[in-house]
Amino acid sequence: MMSKELLEKQGYRFVDNHSAIKVCEWTRKSLSNQGVCYKEKFYGIKSHRCCQMTPSLICPNSCVYCWRTMTKDTIGKELKCKLDEPSEIIDGCIEMQRNLMNGFPGNKNLNLIKFKEAQNPLSFAISLTGEPTLYPYLRDLIKELKNRKIISFLVTNGQFPKALENLNPNQLYVSLDAPTKEIYKKIDKPVLKDYWERLNESLEILSALKTRRVLRLTLIKGINLSHEKEYAKLIEKANPDFIECKGYMWLGGSREKLKYENIPIHKEIQDFSKKLAEETGLKVLNEDTRSRVCLLGEK
């Protein structure tokens, strides 16, 4: 089965030539009053009005913790297709999200007020799958979102540092998956040979960007739930506004690469976060037990 068929089977829907969306599980939960994403708790982003999308299904990494379906035709260094315009992608994503929500009124627990609001997203989580910075017009896409008064949350693996220059999303995440070069290779399975140098350059660029900057640590028990001092050195280089210490979830495709025993309990995330806070001079500001995540920052 081709990756497109696999992704569609898992709820993904394709927009034009190289973009895709999927209704987030937390969007579904919020619409039926069953809880919200930790990003709503931490940053005020409304889960029921968020569109989870990507302008690139291609990724230069094949991370062991990733629950998405990655096949040989989704691993690569560039988009090899006709490129779509930012406005076309945004319009297509909103239309597709609305189509995917058509069946929601059949749920007796649906919050109708939220459902009506959800027809017009207030935020785009540019994080669904793949590496968004492979899309050459990403800066224009973010600018168009701002023109429409839509908040942009961009998540990148930092393998294309030059693409981060002059980017101005409302919030920029860089995934910091490992404290050392050796562990990064083990976890991220990078295609690019100079992967560690690229990541470090991205961290340096991040430190100078005029936007809300976040480092996300996906922590896997027995692999990278350690090395607080090494993490602290990388964090100092990036000088982020916040750090998310997030526990690995044994979901999707990651179950073929990792074991159930690799899931840290929330107490382990708490303990790691406290140690990292001591190393960096930061404080644990917030946490979400269900998502096993702690937020570090200065305030």
- Give residue-wise pLDDT tens across range 187-221: 999 999 999 999 999 999 999 999 999 999 999 99
Report yes or no on whether pTM surpasses 0.85. Answer: yes
Question: Which residue has better confidence, 108 or 258?
Answer: 108
Q: Which residues pair with 155 in a beta bridge?
A: 173
Token representation of residue 33: 């009053």
Asked whether the predicted pLDDT for residue 73 surpasses 70, the reply is: no
Looking up tokens 């917030």 gives 286
Nearest to 154 by CA among 171, 176, 130, 179: 171
Mean pLDDT rounded to a whole number for the chain:
93
Contacts of 47 (CB under 8 A, 6+ apart): 24, 26, 27, 29, 30, 36, 37, 39, 40
Taking CB atoms within 8 Å and a gap of at least 24, the contacts of 163-167 are: 163/133, 163/134, 163/138, 164/133, 164/202, 164/205, 164/206, 164/209, 165/205, 166/139, 167/138, 167/139, 167/142, 167/209, 167/211
Helix (H, G, I), strand (E, B) or coil at 106: helix
Tell me which residue range forms the domain holding 170.
Answer: 3-297
| pLDDT above 50 (res 2) | no
Assigned token pair, 140: 């224009």
| Confidence band, pLDDT 50/70/90 cuts, at residue 1 | very low
- CATH number of the domain where residue 15 is located: 3.20.20.70
* pLDDT at position 224: 96
Number of domains in the chain: 1
198 touches 158 (CB < 8 A)? yes
Helix 138-147 to helix 86-100 angle, to the nearest 10 degrees?
60
In this structure, what token pair is assigned to residue 250?
């044994």
Confidence band (pLDDT; 50, 70, 90) for 77?
A: confident
**What are the tens digits of pLDDT across the range 18-54?**
999 999 999 999 999 999 999 999 999 999 999 999 9
Segment 79-98, tens digit of pLDDT: 888 999 999 999 999 999 99
